């Protein structure tokens, strides 16, 4: 086989990956957060501390369609950025800091992982609407056409690639290693960032960029449609849900 035919075969296999990639297959869930184990012996005071915490409410929020503007702004705040960089448990949660599961949980690598997930969730297109790929993560909605729609926006495509390139697989291992998580990330989950990057860097994806600043209002303007009214209080649990949306 000469180089040219090899090239053609590669080209054929790359063509149409945007359309044929089945996101729901890639996002199969295989790691669980054991809430019972985590909440098992927390004191009332600790639970209250968590519920009233400025950090819990602003920096570890559950992002929904109805609150994303506010929450996406708050995760960029100095308070939260300082916290993500140095999640000092005794400073932010003096009461809960006595519990071993909190000690285990408050590692920079875990919160860096969350921070990156929040940044991805908050990406917006040319018209300041949430990017299709992450809109789907938030709503857990229909996955069909998600990649195509994301490719339609140049801004979504480029900012997604940029953030995905920063994701460090070691953080997945740290999360997997927590004593209150069980299971492990699948090979597909671990390679998901790279898979998405290669799809979004493909010529096929680039060719889908709309050259006019077309407004994807049909895709993502309906703020009420799928909004899930998840309670804000159990933030630690909720962040896990957000994470699982990524891998479900
Ligand atoms: C994608 O995968 C899911 C789960 O494996 C399956 O139910 C669905 O039918 C697939 N969709 C397509 C378009 O192949
Ligand atoms: C809480 O439970 C964990 C195991 O689930 C245990 O390691 C820890 O010592 C317990 N903490 C307290 C304060 O009872
Ligand atoms: C965490 O914060 C406490 C209280 O503000 C401080 O005494 C401690 O040195 C900090 N720990 C680290 C590792 O920065
Ligand atoms: C997993 O946990 C063990 C002990 O709890 C620790 O020694 C090890 O470094 C951890 N591995 C990772 C990748 O975080
Ligand atoms: C966006 O699309 C809607 C309906 O599809 C249209 O009414 C509106 O004028 C468009 N806005 C822009 C900025 O193109
Ligand atoms: C949003 O979606 C709901 C339910 O799908 C629908 O009833 C409503 O008319 C939509 N609103 C807009 C502004 O499109």
In Å, the largest CA–CA distance within the chain is 70
Statement to judge: residues 157 and 203 lie in one domain: yes
Ligand 3 neighbourhood includes 19 CB (under 6 angstroms)? no
- Which pLDDT tens digit goes with each residue over 199-238? 889 888 888 888 544 455 444 443 333 222 222 223 333 4
Statement to judge: residues 81 and 150 lie in one domain: no
Statement to judge: residues 90 and 114 lie in one domain: no
Statement to judge: residues 155 and 205 lie in one domain: yes
Task: Give the pLDDT score at 222.
Answer: 38
Q: Which of 33, 95, 98, 100 to mutate to test the pocket of ligand 2 (most atoms within 8 A of CB)?
A: 100
Q: Would 222 be classed as within a structural domain?
A: no
Mean pLDDT of all residues in 44-55: 92
Task: Give the pLDDT score at 204.
Answer: 85
Ligand 5 center–CA 122 separation, angstroms: 22
Ligand nearest the Cα atom of residue 168: 4
Task: Give the pLDDT score at 213.
Answer: 47
**Which residues span the domain enclosing 204?**
107-210
Q: How many angstroms separate the CA atoms of 231 and 50, rounded?
A: 13
Q: Where does a domain end: 58, 81, 102? A: 102
Is residue 221 within 8 Å of 129, Cβ to Cβ? yes
Statement to judge: residues 118 and 139 lie in one domain: yes
Q: Which of 225, 226, 227, 228 to mutate to test the pocket of ligand 6 (most atoms within 8 A of CB)?
A: 225
Give the count of beta carbons closer than 10 Å to the beta carbon of residue 192: 20
Q: Which of 168, 172, 177 to mutate to test the pocket of ligand 4 (most atoms within 8 A of CB)?
A: 177
Is residue 116 within 8 Å of 85, Cβ to Cβ? no
Statement to judge: residues 206 and 113 lie in one domain: yes
Q: Would 16 be classed as within a structural domain?
A: no
Q: Would 167 be classed as within a structural domain?
A: yes
Statement to judge: residues 119 and 84 lie in one domain: no
Instruction: List the Cα angle 193/13/146 in 5-degree steps.
Output: 45
Q: Would 83 be classed as within a structural domain?
A: yes
Q: Would 37 be classed as within a structural domain?
A: no
- Which pLDDT tens digit goes with each residue over 5-45? 444 443 333 444 565 666 555 555 567 777 788 888 889 99
Ligand nearest the Cα atom of residue 43: 2
Q: Would 1 be classed as within a structural domain?
A: no
Statement to judge: residues 198 and 112 lie in one domain: yes
Determine the atom of ligand 6 nearest the C-alpha atom of 222. 1
Statement to judge: residues 153 and 177 lie in one domain: yes
Statement to judge: residues 97 and 132 lie in one domain: no
Q: Would 41 be classed as within a structural domain?
A: no
- Which pLDDT tens digit goes with each residue over 161-205? 999 888 877 777 887 888 888 877 777 777 778 888 888 898 888
How many domains are there within the chain?
Answer: 2
Of the listed ranges 117-126, 222-231, 237-246, the least confidently predicted one is 222-231
Mean per-residue pLDDT over the chain, rounded: 74
Task: Give the pLDDT score at 99.
Answer: 93
- Which pLDDT tens digit goes with each residue over 73-95? 999 999 999 999 999 999 999 99
């Amino acid at each position: 086989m000469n180089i040219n035919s090899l090239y053609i075969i590669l080209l054929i296999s790359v063509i149409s990956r945007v359309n044929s990639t089945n996101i729901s297959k890639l996002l199969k869930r295989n790691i669980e957060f054991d809430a019972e184990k985590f909440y098992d012996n927390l004191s009332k005071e600790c639970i209250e501390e968590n519920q009233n915490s400025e950090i819990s409410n602003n920096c570890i929020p559950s992002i929904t369609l109805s609150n994303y503007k506010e929450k996406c702004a708050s995760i960029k705040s100095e308070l939260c950025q300082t916290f993500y960089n140095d999640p000092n448990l005794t400073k932010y949660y003096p009461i809960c800091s006595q519990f071993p599961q909190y000690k285990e949980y408050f590692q920079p690598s875990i919160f860096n992982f969350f921070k990156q997930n929040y940044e991805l969730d908050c990406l917006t297109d040319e018209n300041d609407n949430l990017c299709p790929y992450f809109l789907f993560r938030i709503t857990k909605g229909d996955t069909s056409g998600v990649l195509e729609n994301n490719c339609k926006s140049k801004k979504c495509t480029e900012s997604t690639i940029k953030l995905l390139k920063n994701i460090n697989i070691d953080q997945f291992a740290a999360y997997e290693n927590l004593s209150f998580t069980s299971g492990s990330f699948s090979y597909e989950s671990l390679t998901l960032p790279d898979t998405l990057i290669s799809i979004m860097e493909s010529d096929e994806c680039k060719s889908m960029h709309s050259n006019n600043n077309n407004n994807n209002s049909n895709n993502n303007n309906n703020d009420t449609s799928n909004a899930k009214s998840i309670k804000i209080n159990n933030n630690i649990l909720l962040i896990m849900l957000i994470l699982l949306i990524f891998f479900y």
